[in-house]
Amino acid sequence: MTSFTFISGNLGLDLAGTLQHRRADRRDLLREPADLARWTVEAGILDVPPAVGADDLVAGKTLREAIYRLAVGDAVDRLGGAMAADDRLLVNRVAAGPPASVLLNDAGRVESSGDLAAALSTVAREAVQLLGGPRAVQIKECGGEVCTRLYVDTSRGSSRRWCDMHECGNRAKAAGFRARQRA
């Protein structure tokens, strides 16, 4: 079973990160409907996996790709703004739906519920807040050799280079160390 990571600083970017290594050796972590259902729970959006069919999986991946293109801005470059407008319309339409419901239970804990549409609305709302807000300039792509994960750089001086220090950052530092040892 594939493990998801949530290190981007935004649910929209975390969803975009479910397609790894976009430029080479692409690895889609959402291969079947159950993967998307499990992602909604692991992301903390819902407590119980929602029903997800094949069409729902396509809808989730379509949202994922629209968020990714808007975050990196390459849609505007490729199609003169037409694709970006379509992506904005899609993200806005999904965000306009009712989000996942939350309540404080008798034990003082948060309970989250809803269907897949509510979960995707929650993701799209976070993406809208990021992409249209002041933190949009903090979106970066990992500096790892093959990694294409996007993240919000909240480091002092905007000096963060990797999506995750334990994986990509560690690999880069180890490669640098080996190169220095050979020299």
Mean pLDDT, contiguous 10-residue spans, the chain (183 residues): 88 96 91 98 97 98 97 60 84 98 96 98 97 92 85 84 67 57 70
Rounded CA separation 60/56 (Å): 6
Q: Give yes or no for a contact between 149 and 163, defined as CB atoms under 8 angstroms apart.
A: yes
> Dihedral sign, CA of 119, 122, 126, 127?
positive
Domain ranges of the chain: 11-135
Q: Are 146 and 165 in contact (CB under 8 A)?
A: no
> What's the pLDDT at 156?
85
Cβ partners under 8 Å of residue 84, min gap 6 = 69, 70, 73, 75, 76
Query: What pLDDT does 171 receive?
Result: 62
Residue 168's pLDDT is 74
Measured CA to CA, the distance from residue 2 to residue 7 in angstroms comes to 16
Enter the DSSP assignment of 80: T
Give the DSSP H/E element, type plus range, for residue 64: helix 54-72
Instruction: Give the model's pLDDT for residue 2.
Output: 72
Contact present, 160 and 153 (Cβ < 8 Å): yes
Pairwise CA distance, residues 66 & 75, whole Å:
9
